[in-house]
Amino acid sequence: MSGKKAFYAAAVTAAFVFCMTLGPPPATGDVFILSDGGRIEGAVESQNRRNVMVQTKYGLVTVRRGDIEEWDEKSSPYDEYVKKKKDLKNTANGHFEMGEWCREKEFDAQAKAHFKEVLKLNPKHEKARERLGIKKITPKTTPKTTPEKKSMKPVVKKDDKVEDKKEEKAKKKKPIVERIKKKKKKKSKGGIPIPFTITASCAWDADNAWLHRFGKHIKAGSEYLFMVTRGQMYVSVVTISDQTPRSECIAENKDGIKTGRGYAWTGAGAMHVGGKVLSYTFAHEFLHLKCGIPDEYTRDSKPACPICIMSADPKAHALCDSKTHKGEPGRDCFSLLRKRFPRIREDYDAEGKECPETKVVIRDK
Does position 283 interact with Zn ion (CB under 5 A)? The reply is no
Measured distance CA(309)–CA(324) in Å, rounded: 12
Does position 287 interact with Zn ion (CB under 5 A)? The reply is no
Does position 125 interact with Zn ion (CB under 5 A)? The reply is no
Print burial letters for 78-96: b (CB count within 10 Å at least 16), e (below 16): bbebbeebeeeeeebebbb
Q: Min. distance of Cβ 304 from Zn ion in angstroms?
A: 7
User: Of 112 and 326, which CB lies nearer to Zn ion in the complex structure?
Assistant: 326
User: Of 63 and 291, which CB lies nearer to Zn ion in the complex structure?
Assistant: 291
- The answer to whether 116 touches 132, Cβ cutoff 8 Å, is yes
Q: Min. distance of Cβ 117 from Zn ion in angstroms?
A: 35
Does position 97 interact with Zn ion (CB under 5 A)? The reply is no
Q: Min. distance of Cβ 200 from Zn ion in angstroms?
A: 18
Of the candidate spans 29-37, 176-184, 246-254, 322-330, the one that interacts with Zn ion by CB under 5 A turns out to be: 322-330
Does position 291 interact with Zn ion (CB under 5 A)? The reply is no
Measured distance CA(310)–CA(289) in Å, rounded: 12
Measured distance CA(196)–CA(269) in Å, rounded: 15
3-state SS, one letter per residue, for 303-338 = ECCCCEHHHCCCCCCECCCCCCCCCCCCCCHHHHHH
What is the three-class DSSP state of 83? helix
Does position 308 interact with Zn ion (CB under 5 A)? The reply is yes
Q: Min. distance of Cβ 266 from Zn ion in angstroms?
A: 7
164 CB-near residues (< 8 Å, 6+ apart): none
Does position 69 interact with Zn ion (CB under 5 A)? The reply is no
Q: Min. distance of Cβ 324 from Zn ion in angstroms?
A: 7
Measured distance CA(322)–CA(308) in Å, rounded: 12
Does position 336 interact with Zn ion (CB under 5 A)? The reply is no
* Total interface residues for Zn ion by CB under 5 A: 7
Which residue in the set 80, 178, 295, 313 belongs to the binding site for Zn ion (CB under 5 A)?
A: 295
Q: Min. distance of Cβ 216 from Zn ion in angstroms?
A: 23
Query: Which DSSP string do the residues of 111-151 spell out, in sequence order?
Result: HHHHHHHHHHH-TT-HHHHHHTTEEE-PPPP-----HHHHS
Measured distance CA(116)–CA(132) in Å, rounded: 8
User: Of 133 and 262, which CB lies nearer to Zn ion in the complex structure?
Assistant: 262
Q: Min. distance of Cβ 295 from Zn ion in angstroms?
A: 4
Residue numbers at the binding site for Zn ion (CB under 5 A): 295-296, 305, 308, 320, 325, 332
